[in-house]
Chains A and B, each alone.
Chain A
Amino acid sequence: MSGSARLLEKWARAPRAVTLLLSLVLPVMAPAEPPAGASSCSGCHAVSARVETPIPRILGRQPTDIVAAMQAFRSGERPSTVMGRIAKGFSDDEIRVIAIWLAAQPAEAR
């Protein structure tokens, strides 16, 4: 595992306030390597701005928004088609690291 990936894991285990604070400085520090699970998201959530889709784009968004959405999908509080089934496969820590990584990616990368 790369040093930056290890750091990211440490942040994920830190208290929420600390991860939020860290997320402010992350855009310049985030590693290129996506954390576990993150690279699958772009199968449905378009990276390219040219794709016409009703499925929301998730790059470059606030980590708190992603975390809140995933937790609400997982609990069923927010209705969904597939996201509830997918969110149930991720822990709070995993969701936080993915959210931080997604936030650090340029919104219209390709």
Chain B
Amino acid sequence: MMRTTRRAFLRGAAASAALLPAPALAQAQPRVIVLGGGFAGATCARELQRAEHRAAVTLVEESPIYTACPFSNSVIAGLREIAAQQFGYDAIRAEGIAVSQDRARSVDPQRRLVSLSSGSALGYDRLVLAPGTDIRWGALPGYDEAAAEQMPHAWKAGDQTLLLRRQLEGMADGGTVVISAPANPFRCPPGPYERASLIAYYLKTKKPRSKLIVLDAKDSFSKQRLFQAAWHQLYPGLLEWVSLSNGGNVTEVDPATRTFVTDFATYKADVANVIPPQRAGHIAEAASVADQTGWCPIDPVSFESRLQPGIHVIGDAAIAGAMPKSAFAANAQAKVCAAAVAALLRDETPSPPKLINTCYSLVAPDYGISIAGVYHPVNGQLTDVEGAGGVSPADAPLDFRALEASYAEAWFRTITAETFG
């Protein structure tokens, strides 16, 4: 079998380099390192520990507190407090997982070593990367880390979320809010439009003379018909979406004046939210698992990198075919990857998986819409199962929308309990 051959090869390589850690199966306790403690990484560490009791699982995460992105748009709109988004790692530690509050500096795939900022190095038999996304600073001219203090991205929940909220709260009635949305792919495809909806809700209820403009680098987006129908119904005259073909592509920003420049016009904002282009978290590049797109190609059965054997990539950083970059998908991939890594540590072949994604968006506090999909590997890619999935019905009554809004909240409680609780 191919994997055995590769393992044998690595064992041979190990023998020739005296420093190398021994291969997985020769050890009583195979070592698995998970880098990144979000929905993908934290879930994977827990599931691995349960699936393979012999494994020594280490979760490396820089922050002692994780701030979740789903529902952070509600925080921006003043409908929720940031504390409801925050989770620690005590429950994960209590399960026997070593949680290392540290930052991975580099990965040596040949020697199977992770170097940490603290100076220590950890050897592994299997490495799981769940680094999420990094912003491509400079990809949008004028937008760098300093600019994000004037024009927050709020695309990683935390201080940026609160900054955007404070700017909205400080804006006078009659002001203009501008959001720019990037081209695909990026974290949370419906996210910019949920954000636009909830900011519109805030303006309608608190500052009704204000205006919201969404400048988009795309002509279409997730749940588009549902969003646009709801905007028409709930926020007429308040929210304007400018598509790519109508001149929505932002080519430059000026943080000093909070100005967006497009091919056709300039937009001066009182509150400016730039959702910038993104790529896999930096450690993916350091580990040589990201390709020229900035994202990580993977095998859809095991989530093992196509570029580096022994390293698996899950969550937003992975190129997961038809699966979107969502918390639900990250959590589902983590469970499949954990089962695959456990099988590989036992020298078994992982079974072909099926995965589900469900994403809720709030258009207003009691108005929820959803998109769902079922995926399986076809010709090496995670592909939509035909005939399954899709969005909420276009003609649903308001009690259906209210039910989906309540399911959205229940989903958040459930998935955060599974990941961190």
Q: Mark A23-64, 1 if CB is under 8 A from B, else 0.
A: 000000000111111011111111110111111000000000
Q: How far is the CB of A27 from chain B (nearest CB, A)?
A: 18
Q: How far is the CB of B84 from chain A (nearest CB, A)?
A: 14
> In this assembly, does B388 line the interface, its C-beta being within 8 Å of a C-beta of chain A?
yes
Of the listed stretches B193-201, B231-239, B254-262, B328-336, chain A binds B328-336
A32 B354 Cβ-Cβ under 8 A: no
Chain A, residue nearest B53 (CB): A32
Of the listed stretches B55-63, B135-143, B411-419, chain A binds B411-419
Q: How far is the CA of A79 from the CA of B392 in the complex (A)?
A: 13
Q: How far is the CB of A48 from chain B (nearest CB, A)?
A: 5
B: contact size bracket:
35 or more
On whether A5 and B351 interact (CB within 8 A), knowing A51-B414, A55-B414, the answer reads yes
Q: Mark B344-365, 1 if CB is under 8 A from A, else 0.
A: 0010111111111010000000
On whether A89 and B389 interact (CB within 8 A), knowing A36-B353, A81-B404, the answer reads yes
Chain A, residue nearest B409 (CB): A53
Chain A, residue nearest B358 (CB): A82
B411 A43 Cβ-Cβ under 8 A: yes
Q: Mark A66-110, 1 if CB is under 8 A from B, else 0.
A: 000000000000000110011111100010000000000000000
> In this assembly, does B385 line the interface, its C-beta being within 8 Å of a C-beta of chain A?
yes
> In this assembly, does B64 line the interface, its C-beta being within 8 Å of a C-beta of chain A?
no
Pick the contact of B51 from A33, A43, A46, A94 — CB < 8 Å? A33
Q: How far is the CA of A45 from the CA of B407 in the complex (A)?
A: 11
A37, A41, A43, A46 — most chain B CB neighbours (10 Å): A43
Residues of B contacting A21 in the complex (Cβ-Cβ under 8 angstroms): none
On whether A40 and B407 interact (CB within 8 A), knowing A2-B348, A86-B356, A89-B385, the answer reads no
Q: How far is the CA of A86 from the CA of B359 in the complex (A)?
A: 12
A81 B400 Cβ-Cβ under 8 A: yes
> In this assembly, does A17 line the interface, its C-beta being within 8 Å of a C-beta of chain B?
no
> In this assembly, does B403 line the interface, its C-beta being within 8 Å of a C-beta of chain A?
yes
Chain A interface, number of residues (Cβ within 8 angstroms): 34
Residues of A contacting B404 in the complex (Cβ-Cβ under 8 angstroms): 81
Chain A, residue nearest B393 (CB): A81
B51 A40 Cβ-Cβ under 8 A: no
On whether A1 and B348 interact (CB within 8 A), knowing A33-B339, A51-B414, A86-B388, the answer reads yes
B390 A85 Cβ-Cβ under 8 A: yes
A40 B355 Cβ-Cβ under 8 A: yes
Pick the contact of B387 from A43, A47, A89 — CB < 8 Å? A89
Residues of A contacting B115 in the complex (Cβ-Cβ under 8 angstroms): none
Chain A, residue nearest B330 (CB): A43
Pick the contact of B411 from A5, A44, A85, A90 — CB < 8 Å? A44
B374 A43 Cβ-Cβ under 8 A: no
A40 B332 Cβ-Cβ under 8 A: yes
Pick the contact of B374 from A47, A52, A55, A86 — CB < 8 Å? A86
B336 A85 Cβ-Cβ under 8 A: no
B356, B372, B388, B392 — most chain A CB neighbours (10 Å): B356
B328 A43 Cβ-Cβ under 8 A: yes
A33 B351 Cβ-Cβ under 8 A: yes
On whether A45 and B414 interact (CB within 8 A), knowing A85-B388, A89-B388, the answer reads yes
B354 A54 Cβ-Cβ under 8 A: no
> In this assembly, does B86 line the interface, its C-beta being within 8 Å of a C-beta of chain A?
no
Q: How far is the CA of A55 from the CA of B411 in the complex (A)?
A: 8
On whether A54 and B353 interact (CB within 8 A), knowing A2-B343, A45-B414, A48-B417, the answer reads no
On whether A81 and B370 interact (CB within 8 A), knowing A43-B332, A54-B406, the answer reads yes
> In this assembly, does B174 line the interface, its C-beta being within 8 Å of a C-beta of chain A?
no
Pick the contact of B389 from A36, A53, A85 — CB < 8 Å? A85
B410 A55 Cβ-Cβ under 8 A: yes
Residues of A contacting B342 in the complex (Cβ-Cβ under 8 angstroms): 33
Residues of B contacting A32 in the complex (Cβ-Cβ under 8 angstroms): 50-51
Pick the contact of A53 from B387, B392, B414 — CB < 8 Å? B414
A51 B388 Cβ-Cβ under 8 A: no
Q: How far is the CB of B302 from chain A (nearest CB, A)?
A: 13
- Sample of 26 A–B contacts (CB below 8 Å): A33-B51, A33-B339, A33-B351, A34-B339, A36-B353, A37-B355, A39-B336, A42-B418, A43-B356, A46-B413, A47-B418, A50-B417, A51-B414, A51-B421, A54-B410, A55-B407, A55-B411, A81-B392, A81-B403, A81-B404, A82-B358, A85-B372, A85-B388, A88-B389, A89-B373, A94-B354
State the B residues within 8 Å of A (CB).
47, 50-51, 328, 331-332, 335-336, 339, 342-343, 346, 348-356, 358, 370, 372-374, 376, 385, 387-390, 392, 400, 403-404, 406-407, 410-411, 413-415, 417-418, 421
User: Which 5 residue pairs spanning A and B have beta carbons closest together?
Assistant: A89-B374, A89-B388, A37-B354, A40-B356, A39-B335
